[in-house]
Structure 1
Amino acid sequence: MKKEYLILDKIKGPLLILSGVENAAYDEMVDIVVEGRYRKKGRVVQIYEDKVVIQIFEATTGMSVDNCAVTFTGRPLEIALSREILGREFNGIGAPRDGGNEIYSSKKYNINGRPMNPVARKYPRNYIQTGISSIDCLTTLIRGQKLPIFTGNGMPHNELASQIIRQATISGANSENFAIVFAAMGLKHDDADFFRRSFLEAGVLDRVVTYMNLADDPIVERITTPRCALTAAEYLAFEEGMHILVIMNDLTNYCEALREISSLKEEVPSRKGYPGYLYSDLASLYERAGMMEGKNGSITQIPIVSMPNDDITHPIPDLTGFITEGQIVLSRALYQKDLYPPVNILPSLSRLMKDGIGEGYTREDHAEVASQIFSAYSRVQEIIALAQVIGEDELSDTDKLYMEFGRALEEKFLKQGYEENRTITETLDIAWKVLSILPKTELDRISPAIIEKYYLILNQ
């Protein structure tokens, strides 16, 4: 027999405090009836002896300490899942927000997921082609990897995310076993409309599952949005055998919600007011990517992280960099040059790309070309600093060639259209055309056999 608690101790923002509670469990879902008419949901976020703190998933307007009836369900937040979720849009707790029917399934899944046994993990190998040269060539995304995009306010990360969703392909995968799970946290209404419109126009809506939390939705729902999305991804990957690309936008909004709720709970703050458990909380999201032995599916993550004040040492990008396997960094300086996508290739890296590129995956020259571009572009930055002191006319002939290479790399290789989808072969051929500006003696990261095969052919 379920107990109903009729008197609350306190209501504080989105939190209810209740005492005299028996056998409550952390993360347990709670049903709340306000004035006998309005139903709301909440979950237990803190327990101290017989006192319980409950987060409400909706506004607490109209609630008081003596007009609510609280019932504990004995279960965590669970969502029903089936293949019917493809092409649908849900809110942060898994309820439909596209006007469609509820998902009916005999299976319900805890949104916190189950930890993946490290021994059962498969090493990521095959690459995912995004059609974007700066990513495919220099920071290659590998299936089963977690590769964040570090961006700043006002930068075109929404356009980049949309382009990746429209263009991403995996070798050996097709529309039957490849899908995108898109988790949006704290998104503005016009940005949400942009994503819906771009998916519809590109004809990819039927392979995208969206979990959308808007800027004016409850912040508590923002905490559960990525967990619902990742639970759906795990179901599609490990039970339906699909390859899933999860894009989470924007993790900074998620962390801000975490900080706000932590402050309301009066927890001791850590760096910049964020809770001390921010690292482990982010890890509980990021570590749900990967592949498992005996399972055909995979989960690849691209979290998008806005850097406050473009500060890459801010706690959110800093901790994200510790957990994930590289990063793609967007540059405001390149964006101001009207260069899209404004990927700053020097601080960007993909730690797993070495095992998913080369012969049998992309092309045998890929690794050496990427290494040479990094080396040459790094030299370009040194020469630009020198030219600012002595003037470009005083540079040596070789240095002038490097300056020409730098301009060509940005204009022909890094810059591409929002609708432009390049294959890996096209990307590498463009890279060779740009590298051919430099004399062969400067290509010290590429073997002579590879130079003979590609450098001469592309310059005949």
Structure 2
Amino acid sequence: MSLKFVGLKEINGPLVVLDNLPDNISFDEMVELSLEDGTTRSGRIVQIEGNRAIIQVFEGTRGISLTNTTTRLLGHPMELPLSKELLGRIFSGAGNPIDGLGDVYAEKYEDINGKPINPVSRVYPRNYIKTGISSIDALMTLIRGQKLPIFSGSGMQHNKLAVQIVRQSQIAEQKGQKFGVVFAAMGVTNDVADYFRRSFEQSGVLQKVVMFLNLSNDPVIERILTPRCALTAAEYLAFEHDMHILVILTDMTSYAEALREFSSSKGEIPGRKGYPGYLYSDLASLYERAGMIKGHGGSVTQIPILTMPNDDITHPIPDLTGYITEGQIVLDRDLDQKGIYPPIAVLPSLSRLMKDGIGEGYTRKDHSPVANQLFASYAKVQDARALASVIGEEELSAQDKLYLKFGREFEDRFINQGFDENRTIEETLDLGWELLSILPKEELDRLDAALLEHFYKKHEEKKRFRGEE
């Protein structure tokens, strides 16, 4: 039974206050507000103090009257209609269809806040998701069921990278495995939203994508719902239809700023840089919805994308995200200004789960040692560059000059690749060996003798054949 109340006690920003409510109201319960002009708006209870409730109005409070507004309590939390029809559809941040194809015929409705996964029933993530991007696939491999954020900066090419990952991503080849993408954009401009939509349509991947778009001129409160709606759709497809779902959330900074605005309007005590003290637990409630569950064939893998304010990796949003997630992919502004795409900074980036999803039976037996050697050699490149900036490149030793050559080739050929270039893991690892063959064999201390004999010798012979030595 739903309850109706006439009039409001108070209006404060996106919040309204209702007094003299019964004891059986619940936190996160949905409400419907009917205005004088006959229109309705949705909201949910976000705070309860005795018989008083604070209601968050999704569409904003402009035009709402204190005396003539009727509030109806619906008796349930916000729920998303779910079915296989979600694939290929485009929704608003609150889960309403915006593609002109009508409502989803729901098989069931689920609370957008999700259900916590029992840690005992979690399956350890294994097997990799191929993105076709060498620097990610080889050096910070995305594992099925992992949460691996991308740390970007304002004005950098993270949107382009997100589109490329959606277009090219696929699970390692296994028969009968179904793969899909849930894409959620928060606080984006109209032209960025059109870019995402147009890119997916033109590349023919839209039929395997579920899109949730929250625009910058949409109500800021709706931004808080967007990732929850997206993850609810992902969990349904993964755990009820045994699909492997990749969730891309962009931009989590817009989400956190919406949360800060909402917290401020409630009068809560701010924490670091004005963000609420519960920012960590709130982000964790989203990120921890990734994973695999015993008895279910599907998985939810997350790539949250966030822009670091002032490129500051110690800012609360990237800082807390790094604590919760299993690694990070960091984009570098210097590489971006050099015209290198994707501008992935290799040294501060890592994937903590890649060691268990690569190697023989997953990618190739030489994957892990090659990745370690590329990291180690590129770290020495930075030392050689630092020395060259002091004494000049001409004064460097022959060995340091080889490292500088390796660094240039590594950035220009390995990190840098075309937007439409989709490399296999074999092509990526072979390219890694080709670049390592620039260095003397005795410098490759992360590779054992058997691998050097097989792979280094092969690429050394190729170089000799091309007349590079």
Regarding TM over 0.5, the answer is yes
**Aligned-residue offset at 1:106:** 4.0
Are 2:168 and 1:167 equivalent residues in the alignment? yes
Partner-residue secondary structure (3-state), 2:344? coil
Are 2:371 and 1:376 equivalent residues in the alignment? no
Q: What is the match of residue 124 of structure 1?
A: 125
Paired-residue identity, %: 61
Corresponding letter in the other structure for 2:55: I
Whether the aligned pair in 2 keeps the contact of 1:33 and 1:68 (CA below 8 Å) is yes
> What are the superposed Cα offsets for residues 183-208 of structure 1, whole Å, 9 maximum, x if unpaired?
11111111111111110111001000
Corresponding letter in the other structure for 1:374: F
- CA spacing shift, 1:429–1:161, aligned 2, 3 Å: same
Once residues 190 and 411 of structure 1 are traced to their aligned partners in structure 2, the CA distance between those partners, rounded to angstroms, is 30
Q: What is the match of residue 92 of structure 1?
A: 93
- CA spacing shift, 1:372–1:362, aligned 2, 3 Å: same
Q: What is the match of residue 55 of structure 1?
A: 56
Corresponding letter in the other structure for 2:2: K
Whether the aligned pair in 1 keeps the contact of 2:18 and 2:52 (CA below 8 Å) is yes
Q: What is the match of residue 451 of structure 2?
A: 450
> What are the superposed Cα offsets for residues 337-390 of structure 1, whole Å, 9 maximum, x if unpaired?
110000000000000000001111111111011101111111111111111111
Partner-residue secondary structure (3-state), 2:34? strand
Whether the aligned pair in 1 keeps the contact of 2:188 and 2:216 (CA below 8 Å) is yes
**Aligned-residue offset at 1:105:** 1.9
Once residues 128 and 170 of structure 1 are traced to their aligned partners in structure 2, the CA distance between those partners, rounded to angstroms, is 5
| Runs (5+) with no aligned partner, structure 2 | 462-469
Q: What is the match of residue 71 of structure 1?
A: 72
Once residues 176 and 248 of structure 2 are traced to their aligned partners in structure 1, the CA distance between those partners, rounded to angstroms, is 18
Are 2:18 and 1:18 equivalent residues in the alignment? yes
Q: What aligned pairs does 1:355-394 form with structure 2 within 5 A after superposition?
A: 355-394=356-395
Once residues 136 and 198 of structure 1 are traced to their aligned partners in structure 2, the CA distance between those partners, rounded to angstroms, is 22
Whether the aligned pair in 2 keeps the contact of 1:173 and 1:243 (CA below 8 Å) is no
CA RMSD of aligned residues (A): 1.1
Q: What is the match of residue 279 of structure 1?
A: 280
Are 2:309 and 1:300 equivalent residues in the alignment? no
> What are the superposed Cα offsets for residues 222-263 of structure 1, whole Å, 9 maximum, x if unpaired?
001000000000000000010000000000000000000000
> What are the superposed Cα offsets for residues 156-210 of structure 1, whole Å, 9 maximum, x if unpaired?
0000000000000112357971000001111111111111111011100100001
- CA spacing shift, 1:173–1:190, aligned 2, 3 Å: farther
Q: What is the match of residue 228 of structure 1?
A: 229
Whether the aligned pair in 2 keeps the contact of 1:125 and 1:143 (CA below 8 Å) is yes
Partner-residue secondary structure (3-state), 1:29? strand
Once residues 121 and 99 of structure 2 are traced to their aligned partners in structure 1, the CA distance between those partners, rounded to angstroms, is 37
Which stretches of structure 1, 4 residues or more, deviate above 3 A after TM superposition? 172-176
Are 2:193 and 1:192 equivalent residues in the alignment? yes
Q: What is the match of residue 143 of structure 2?
A: 142
TM-score, normalised to structure 2, is 0.97
Whether the aligned pair in 1 keeps the contact of 2:89 and 2:99 (CA below 8 Å) is yes
Partner-residue secondary structure (3-state), 2:80? strand
Whether the aligned pair in 2 keeps the contact of 1:151 and 1:305 (CA below 8 Å) is yes
Which piece of structure 1 moves more, 168-177 or 447-456? 168-177
- CA spacing shift, 1:159–1:362, aligned 2, 3 Å: same
| Runs (5+) with no aligned partner, structure 1 | none
Are 2:401 and 1:397 equivalent residues in the alignment? no
**Aligned-residue offset at 1:93:** 1.7
**Aligned-residue offset at 1:456:** 1.1
Once residues 14 and 440 of structure 2 are traced to their aligned partners in structure 1, the CA distance between those partners, rounded to angstroms, is 64
Whether the aligned pair in 1 keeps the contact of 2:95 and 2:229 (CA below 8 Å) is yes
Q: What is the match of residue 247 of structure 1?
A: 248
Whether the aligned pair in 2 keeps the contact of 1:291 and 1:299 (CA below 8 Å) is yes
Once residues 132 and 388 of structure 2 are traced to their aligned partners in structure 1, the CA distance between those partners, rounded to angstroms, is 34
Whether the aligned pair in 2 keeps the contact of 1:175 and 1:207 (CA below 8 Å) is no
Partner-residue secondary structure (3-state), 1:164? helix
Q: What is the match of residue 4 of structure 2?
A: 4
Corresponding letter in the other structure for 2:268: E
Once residues 272 and 336 of structure 2 are traced to their aligned partners in structure 1, the CA distance between those partners, rounded to angstroms, is 30
Once residues 360 and 80 of structure 2 are traced to their aligned partners in structure 1, the CA distance between those partners, rounded to angstroms, is 42
Q: How many residues align?
A: 460
Partner-residue secondary structure (3-state), 2:47? strand
Are 2:391 and 1:427 equivalent residues in the alignment? no
Partner-residue secondary structure (3-state), 1:195? helix
Once residues 159 and 14 of structure 1 are traced to their aligned partners in structure 2, the CA distance between those partners, rounded to angstroms, is 33
Once residues 279 and 52 of structure 2 are traced to their aligned partners in structure 1, the CA distance between those partners, rounded to angstroms, is 24
Once residues 272 and 204 of structure 2 are traced to their aligned partners in structure 1, the CA distance between those partners, rounded to angstroms, is 43
